[in-house]
Structure 1
């Protein structure tokens, strides 16, 4: 859990600095002013300014920030029918909900961790069980299934009864949403924020006696049938904690703040230009060959904004070629729109490869070919054992370095070190507020 929390808090802090997150905070400030005294402003909105709000709104802001850079972890799947072997982004909805409700109730660190793990496990087991058609039809599972994660985390902290939990899940089922057409826009991270917010609202309403259907998930008109095309329901409740998904198959951590599907290709490009010392001005053409499982989601032929760049293979290749990196300081509107980047993106071709397609969708396979201006050609196949994944996991040092890089956009070095110390010992904290106070602007 600590590894996911280190990564999760880091990406929340970094994501709070982007324009979409600032708009969400501005919206929340307006609501808080309308509410009056602020007596219910019991939860921290992390970011570059000090702001508090009620639990649901704080979860909205922190959840949206956590997914804003597309830098948060990804659930691994052991099922062969799951595209890319990846499922959802499990940490942010559960983290945002657990933090907001935990602060409001002033719970100790151990209870916060238990609530986080509860939501995390619910999201992962539901994502594993739901028919793959759910994602393939265009639903964004972080927004849809993440709502149930947040509801479960909130219900755990609020000590809801079994009957109230059923109603909370039913309410969550009717507020769960997120569609993939919004990838590459500010609305994609809003999916995670709304999931966290709606999950808390569902638990709060259920605690007050609000009702929903008795069979909200697997009934004839339940969530799985209507939105998911069905589900292998026995893989959920009996599988909870057997083992915990955070342990096996676990998660992958992102080395780049963009769609995971491009990461192996980016690593291949980095290896190619480094091994052969190819400079950007020596590149005549870049060709990326891949299957539809990569080319369709990474759908932007060229990027005009940093949000589009997160789903644009030509930008990913251009950034690596120009700077030998593609981090939080490259995924900016300024760099994406620069003359050098735009010119190099125009020299990148993405090509559907039927041979790669025929090998299946369980892995992220691609081949990068660089044609130099002097006529030489260099080729590099992506390594299916991608960085941050199960075969090349992040070390504790990797996670600390990523957290430090992310948090440096908001906090000074001494506060960053203190925040890391508290996250590493979070289960011993007498109050979760100790941690949020260390990360406040």
Structure 2
């Protein structure tokens, strides 16, 4: 590898401004900012959130930033951990499909905490500047995933996400290229995130995102203080693309950086489950609408999908799954839709996880490989349903609902946001949700994005 990706990412981070973003990128930034805040608010109903909140406050007490759950104040790094966990714990946050990265969870949790700390020091960050930093962060995290053809070995939303958050903070901090490269080096020293947590459905999965969000704040602090980090962290002998990712194509980064905005390539999650489970729900929904059959007429469901789907969500249904396991189990997610005609937040917690009707339908669902050799794609997929009458129905999905080619409408995005607010513990009153939506819509007019945090935490 001859291209210096650290130099390329650093140059992009320090030079990008709001005026560089096309209207489509700005619209996407607002769409997925609202979406991410909504799923974080709903995340207050997730498992282990109080434990994470209490421990994070012990790890980093202080008054620098706000944990969105209850508005508790703590250090910026600890607030980033809590808020990252809130964003990801329901498996409801947006994703860059080609990169296999959830960029917003690490990015926004770190960025908002850093901005709050800056505001407390008399240096508020405007919404206009915040939009540019968001775009930089998504470009960095997304293109780190796009650059590789290797099968996922580490948890990319955490590993790539940390570099995205570092680039975004560097943009707001006014770093030069050398300081930004140093910050990348300090981030690399903290980079973490394993797939074992994903395999077992462990709540550590969301915490790994939080650890890297905290790492991004620490990395930029170290670089700002003049402490030198390693420089060739992506393409060096022991760099990111040697140890964490392989089969790398640097030209995929350099050919589009600053030209194609990755924030426009994000996919919604219409359902609170692993994105790789969404194809079977999309297929079942469309087949049932087109052919008019009911769930109790289904004898078998077969999903033919690429290797990424089989590897990450092809796990067996179990009688009493943990919430995280169930959300990442394709047969269970398909069965939820068949049993209830929906897939929503309450369907993956408490007694719903042991619903005998759901488990009866899950036993009818199986996955098969489709012969695709791409280790980083989730489509196309084929969903086939055999009815009790013997009739077989099939649908091919070139893209899955939520992808930019099959997007949620603006109205659907708002509906998801308001529904997430109702799922919060306690539920967010609609009047407050409307205020929050309007703040995001007009974020360019915000003189201090900390005001947005106060609204999310119910302190405005």
Bucket of the pairwise TM-score, normalised by the shorter protein:
0.7 to 0.9
Q: State the distance in 1 between where 2:53 and 2:32 align.
A: 24
CA shift for structure 1 position 427: 1.4
Specify whether residues 328 and 166 from structure 1 end up closer, same or farther in structure 2 by C-alpha distance, changes over 3 A only: same
CA shift for structure 1 position 380: 2.7
Match of 1:338 in 2: 355
Q: State the distance in 2 between where 1:347 and 1:387 align.
A: 23
State whether structure 2 residue 208 is matched by structure 1 residue 197.
no
- Does the 8 Å CA contact 1:170/1:217 hold for their aligned counterparts? no
State whether structure 2 residue 47 is matched by structure 1 residue 46.
no
Match of 1:108 in 2: 126
Q: State the distance in 1 between where 2:242 and 2:452 align.
A: 41
State whether structure 2 residue 42 is matched by structure 1 residue 14.
yes
Q: 3-state SS of the aligned residue for 1:175? A: coil
Mapping 1:4-403, distance limit 5 Å: 4-32=32-60, 35=61, 38=62, 41-47=63-69, 49-76=70-97, 85-106=98-119, 107-129=125-147, 131-133=148-150, 136-183=151-198, 184-229=201-246, 231-236=248-253, 239-247=256-264, 250-303=265-318, 304-348=321-365, 350-353=366-369, 356-357=370-371, 362=377, 363-372=379-388, 375-403=389-417
- Does the 8 Å CA contact 1:42/1:104 hold for their aligned counterparts? yes
When normalised by structure 1's length, the TM-score is: 0.88
- Which stretches in structure 1 are left out of the alignment for 5+ residues? 77-84
Q: State the distance in 2 between where 1:400 and 1:358 align.
A: 35
When normalised by structure 2's length, the TM-score is: 0.84
Question: For this pair of structures, how many residues does the alignment match?
Answer: 416
Superposed CA offset, 1:66-99 (max 9, x none): 11111111114xxxxxxxx453112222111111
CA shift for structure 1 position 169: 0.5
Superposed CA offset, 1:77-124 (max 9, x none): xxxxxxxx4531122221111111111112221222222222122112
Q: 3-state SS of the aligned residue for 2:230? A: coil
Q: 3-state SS of the aligned residue for 2:420? A: helix
- Does the 8 Å CA contact 2:314/2:367 hold for their aligned counterparts? no
Q: State the distance in 1 between where 2:348 and 2:384 align.
A: 21
Q: State the distance in 2 between where 1:281 and 1:185 align.
A: 33
Specify whether residues 229 and 286 from structure 1 end up closer, same or farther in structure 2 by C-alpha distance, changes over 3 A only: closer
Q: State the distance in 1 between where 2:243 and 2:306 align.
A: 29
CA shift for structure 1 position 365: 0.9
Specify whether residues 230 and 314 from structure 1 end up closer, same or farther in structure 2 by C-alpha distance, changes over 3 A only: closer
Cα-Cα RMSD? 2.2
Q: 3-state SS of the aligned residue for 2:406? A: coil
Q: 3-state SS of the aligned residue for 2:407? A: coil
Q: State the distance in 2 between where 1:256 and 1:216 align.
A: 36
